Amino acid sequence: MASLKIQNVCKSFGAVDVLKGIDLEIESGEFLVLVGPSGCGKSTLLNLIAGLETVTSGDVLIGDRVVNAVSPKDRDIAMVFQSYALYPNMNVRKNLSFGLETRKVAKPEIDATIERVAQMLQITDLLDRKPAQLSGGQRQRVAMGRALARNPKIFLFDEPLSNLDAKLRVEMRTEIKRLHQRIHTTIVYVTHDQIEAMTLADRVVVMKQGIVQQVGTPTEIYDTPANTFVASFIGSPAMNLMQGEIEGGTFRGTNVEIAGLSAADGPVTLGFRAEDAAVADTSADIKAPIYTIELLGDATMLTVRAGGEMVSVKAAKDFRAEIGDAVSISVPVGVCHLFDHESGERLAS
Amino acid sequence: MPEAIHKPPSERAQRVFIYSVLLLFVVYFLAPFFVMFITSIKTMDEIRNGTLIALPRQPTLEPWLKAWGYATIGVTNEGIRGFFWNSIRMVIPAVLISTIIGAVNGYVLSKWRFRGSDTFFAMLLLGCFIPFQVILLPMARTLGLLGLSESVWGLVLVHVVYGLAFTTLFFRNYYVAVPSELVNAARIDGAGFFRIFWRIMLPISTPIFMVTIIWQTTQIWNDFLFGVCFSTGETQPITVALNNLVNTSSAVKEYNVDMAAAIIAALPTLFVYFVAGKYFVRGLTAGAVKG
C-alpha cells in the first residue's frame, strides 16, 4: 500500500498536448476512478503512473519517492489491461507466476501465492488452461489474478470491464469492489463508464481534454457538479441543462419559468436532474408538449423541449400519456443548479 | 466440417469443374518433373532410341551415382557431392543468422520504437528492391577487404546482409499485429528486453519463422549469381556446379546424369516445403496469437 501524488504533470506527443498540468493526491488504500470521454488523457495518465510512458514535465510520486525515471518493473505496481494481455503461449498458472519468476521469488512461495490467488478469484479449475480456452469473464479473472499475485503497492486498472457483456460487467464490478474492501490496496481505475465510476470509487476524477474538471466523492460529483461538462457526463440520464435569462430572481426560457432563484440578472444555464422534478397539476414551472415517453418499468421517462434543450423528467411508473399531450412539470428551486452560460462553470448559490 | 449429404446438382457440377481444372494444372506442373525423373533412370541408349515420355525398360541408378560421385565438373571427377555440402554449409548458417537477426529487428521496430525507427525501417525496406547485379562489385571489394573472398563464409555474409531486408520486413509486420499491451504487461511483470522476446514473442512466432525459413532457404539455395561471382572451384555452391556439369564439354551429352544432378540440386528446397509447410499451416490454424 502506498499513496500516490501527481504534481503538475504534462504530457505531449509531438505537438499534441495530451495532459495539461494534472495535480492529484491519492491516499493510501483509496479507490480512485479516472473517468472521461475517449481522448481525455485518462489512459495516458495511467500509463505515466505505470511508467510505460515518461512525463514531459511534472512529477509522479509513489509513497514519497519521485518515480519519473523509474522503470515499470521497479515501481511495485500491477496493471490490468482492457484486452487482458494474457500471455497466449502460457497456461493460467504460468501467466500468474511469470511476474514472480522474473522477480526470482522462491518456488514454494510462488506455488502458495498462486494457490491463494486462484482460490480468491475462483480460478483454481482453470490453472492448466491456455488463455484461448477461457471465456471473457474467466480471462478477466486471470488478468486480475496476475496483478494480485504480485501483491503490489498500487493497482492500475485500464478499462478492465469494457470487453465484457453487460451482465458480466455488473458482476465483475461488484467483485472488484469487494476485492478492494478485502485487500485495501490503493487502486487507480480508468473508465469511460460513469456508472462504474459512481459505484466503485471512493473519489472520482472527471477529466476532459487533458484537464481535471472535478475531483470528489461520487455524491459530490453527482450533487454539485463543478461545471456543465461534469453535469452532463455524470448521471444517467444526464443532467438537464436549459438556456435562459434571470430577471429579478426568475429564470425564463422557452416553455419554462422558474421563480424564486437568488442570482444576478443575466443569461444563465439552469440544470436539474430528471428525478428531482415531477409531473404536477399545479405550480407548473415547465409547460410543454410531450416529445417522447419511455416506460422503464420502475418509472416512466418523459422528454419535453424547454429552454432550447431536450429535458427529461422521471414520472411515476403508472404515468401514461400520449406523445404531443401537454404536460406540466414542477422544478423546485432547491434542486436547480446554475452555471455560467458561457464558461459553463458552476455559479455560487 | 462434416460433408453435406445432399448437395444441389449445380454445386456438384461446380465442384467437378474446379477439381478438373486443378487436376489439369497438377499434370501441367508435374509433367516436367516426371520427364526429368524417368530420364534420370534411363540408360543413354534408351534415351537415344526412345521418346521423351517413354517409361524406362531397364531402370538404372547409375546416372544418380555418377552425378553424385564421379561426374566430371570442370577439371575434377568427383560429381556434385562436394558442392552439395558446400550449399548446405552455406545455407544453414545464412538462413539461421538472417532469420534470428530479422526477428530481433522486427521486435525492436514494432515494440521498442525509437526516434527515427520508421525512417530506419523504410530505408531497410529499400534493400528489398536493390537488384543483385548492382552490388556485385562493391560486395566483391568488401569481401576482399574482409579476407572472405572465394570462401563459403563470404557467401554466408552476402546472403545474410541481402536477406535482412526481407526477414526484418516479415517479422516486423508479424509483430506489429501482436498487441503492445502484451509487452507492457510483461514490462510491469519485471521482464526486460530479451526476456520478453524469449518468453513472450518467440513462442508465438512459429508461423512467421516457418515462412521466413522457407523463403530464405529457397532464395539462398537457389541463388546462382552470388555463387558464381564470389566463389571459385572447391567453394562453389551446387547451383554453380550444376551449371558447370551441364556445360562441361565431353563427347556425349549425358542427359540422364544432368537430370539426376538437377533433381538432387532441387531436393533440399522440396524437403523444406514438405516439412516446414506443414508446420506453417499448423501454426496458422492454432490461432495462438489471440490474447
- Say if the Cβ atoms of A79 and B185 lie within 8 Å: yes
The residue of chain B nearest to residue A49, with distances taken between CA atoms, is B188
| Stretch(es) of chain B classified as CATH 1.10.3720.10 | 81-286
Q: Identify the pLDDT of residue A10.
A: 93
* SS (HEC) of B162-202: HHHHHHHHHHHHHHHCCCHHHHHHHHHCCCCHHHHHHHHHH
Ranges of residues in chain B with a pLDDT under 70 are: 1-7, 249-251, 279-291
Quote the pLDDT of residue B280: 63
Instruction: Please write the tens of the pLDDT for every residue from A9-26.
Output: 999 998 899 999 999 999
User: In what helix (H) or strand (E) does residue B140 lie, and over which residues does it extend?
Assistant: helix B136-146
Task: Give the CATH class of A4-231.
Answer: alpha beta
- Whether the pLDDT of residue A45 is over 60: the answer is yes
Which pLDDT score, from 0 to 100, does residue B291 have? 37
**A132/B contact by beta carbon, under 8 A:** yes
Report pLDDT for B1.
45
* Cβ contact B182–A87 (<8 Å): yes
Residue B24 CB neighbour total at 10 angstroms: 10
Task: Report pLDDT for B249.
Answer: 66
Q: Which pLDDT belongs to residue B286?
A: 46
Residues in chain A closer than 8 A to B177 (CB atoms): none
Q: Which of residues 176-205 of B touch A (CB under 8 A)?
A: 179, 181-182, 184-192, 195, 199-200, 203-204
> How many Å apart are CA B169 and CA B280, to the nearest integer?
18
Phi/psi of residue B103, each to 5°?
A: -65, -45
Question: Touching check for A324 and chain B: CB below 8 Å?
Answer: no
**pLDDT for residue A204:** 95
Answer whether A153 touches B (CB < 8 Å): no
Instruction: Report whether CATH 2.40.50.140 matches the domain A238-340.
Output: yes
Q: Does B206 touch chain A (CB under 8 A)?
A: no
Which residues have a Cβ under 8 Å from the Cβ of A116 and sit 6 or more positions away?
A: none
Tell me: pLDDT of A229 over 90: yes
- Could A73 and B195 be called an inter-chain contact, meaning their C-beta atoms sit closer than 8 Å? no
The three-class DSSP label of residue B73 is: strand
Q: How far is A103 from chain B (nearest CA, A)?
A: 7
Other C-beta atoms closer than 10 Å to the C-beta of B92 total 13
Superfamily of chain region B81-286? MetI-like (1.10.3720.10)
pLDDT at residue A57 in the model: 93
HEC assignment per residue over chain A: CCCEEEEEEEEEECCEEEEEEEEEEECCCCEEEEECCCCCCHHHHHHHHHCCCCCCEEEEEECCEECCCCCHHHCCEEEECCCCCCCCCCCHHHHHHHHHHHCCCCHHHHHHHHHHHHHHHCCHHHCCCCHHHCCHHHHHHHHHHHHHHCCCCEEEEECCCCCCCHHHHHHHHHHHHHHHHHHCCEEEEEECCHHHHHHHCCEEEEEECCEEEEEECHHHHHHCCCEHHHHHHCCCCCCEEEEEEEECCEEEECCEEECCCCCCCEEEEEEECHHHCEECCCCCCEEEEEEEEEECCCCEEEEEEECCEEEEEEECCCCCCCCCCEEEEECCHHHCEEEECCCCEECCC
pLDDT at B282 (0 to 100): 61
Mean pLDDT across chain A: 91
Higher pLDDT, A104 or B283: A104
Q: Which of A62, A79, A163 to mutate to test the interface with B (most CBs of B within 10 A)?
A: A79
Nearest CA in chain B to A73: B190
The yes-or-no verdict on residue A263 having pLDDT over 70 is yes
Tell which A residues from 35 to 64 touch B, by Cβ distance under 8 Å: 50-52
Task: Say which DSSP state B68 is in.
Answer: I
**Interface check A102 vs B, CB under 8 A:** yes
DSSP-assigned beta bridge partners for residue A244? A268
In the sheet that holds A4-13, the strands lie side by side as A16-26, A4-13, A57-62, A65-66
Smallest CA–CA distance from A76 into chain B, residue: B188
Instruction: Grade residue A227 by pLDDT with cuts at 50, 70 and 90.
Output: very high
Q: How far apart are CA A259 and CA A272, in angstroms?
A: 14
pLDDT reported for residue B75: 74
What mean pLDDT comes out for the span A60-76? Answer: 91
- Contact criterion met (CB < 8 Å) for A50 and B188: yes
**B289/A88 Cβ within 8 A:** yes
A178 interfaces chain B, CB cutoff of 8 Å: no
Question: In angstroms, what separates the C-alpha of B168 from chain A's closest C-alpha?
Answer: 23
